[in-house]
Amino acid sequence: MTTLYYHHSDFLFHETGVGHPECPERLVSIASALENSNFSSLIRVPAPLGNELQIRLVHSQVHVEAIIKAAPKQGYYYLDQDTVLSTGSTQAAFRGVGAVCDAVDRVVSGEANNAFCAIRPPGHHAEADLAMGFCLFNNVAIATEYARQYHQINRIAIIDFDVHHGNGTQAIFFNQPNVLYVSSHELFNYPGTGSPKEIGLGNIINVPLFEGDTGIEFREKYSKIILPALRDFKPEILLISAGFDAHRDDSLGSIMLLEDDFEWVTKQLMCVADSYCKGRIISVLEGGYNLKALASSVAIHIKTLMNH
């Protein structure tokens, strides 16, 4: 099993200010967890720079230009109370887009079986014309449209297990029947979307978790709702919005998952990918803000991708 790991020092120069949970140290902690011999066969790929054409597969020209223009020459610029731009933010965001599109190229071509993109800023809250929730560009949505338009992959499933609902991804694909968006998330947490009643054209499946839910409820809902829906859809490739803030030690959520729950869900998604997608998975980092829990959860997620 060949697994690609996308990284770049530019991601560390998206600075968000003292005390902001979406901080550069997140990626430092992940990199540190991957420095042992268990990951010696992991293929490390410096993230290339993406371009405006790729971003405009999903976002408007006005949105792209607004992000570029708002980036400060020094200090910080607040798009909202949570979403911050610094001098390095635009470069980091373009690297994130480049990483996910390059991962699509390499996984679809068969050069690699799967990929994990350790990128920031995250993306799943970004709508076509709106940056929000720490997110500037919607990386997973861009990768999805890139696979559709450049590789003629028509049936794509996005699985989002971040503790927060990916409102941006849902909005972008709400009326696109060939893209299945499935999200498990803590209901009533930010951003307040993700009701089971939000179904698009039948291609949106929201599976709420509730405060205090553990791996028992998480696994049951995947087994009874999400995995059967994926099998019914028969996707040609799986994209994962891999947020690890449903961990019990993460302060931005109230779900009680542990590392072995992330290992379990990764294995289940790989089984689906083996059956319908030639094993093709691209996993993209979203949330996860307790540095220790994030590092250990990502490490077991990547190790599972490598070893299945």
Catalytic residue of the set 14, 125, 164, 247: 125
Cβ within 8 Å of residue 38, ≥6 positions away: 303
Other Cβ atoms closer than 10 A to 38? 14
Known catalytic membership, residue 125: yes
Which burial class, exposed, middle or buried, applies to 69 when counting CB atoms under 10 A from its CB (0-12, 13-18, 19+)?
exposed
| Cα dist from 292 to 58, 161, 250, 296, 298, whole Å | 33, 19, 10, 6, 10
pTM over 0.95: yes
Per-residue pLDDT, 308:
62
Per-residue pLDDT, 145:
98
Domains of the chain (ranges, CATH numbers): 3-307 (3.40.800.20)
CA atoms within 13 A on the CB side of 228: 7
% of the chain beyond a pLDDT of 90? 99
User: Measured between alpha carbons, how far apart are the two ends of the chain, in Å?
Assistant: 7
| Cα dist from 251 to 92, 142, 243, whole Å | 25, 29, 13
What type of residue sits at position 293?
Answer: A
Report the chain (308 residues): mean pLDDT per 10 consecutive residues: 95 97 98 96 98 98 97 96 97 98 98 98 98 98 98 98 98 98 98 98 98 98 98 98 98 98 98 98 98 98 92
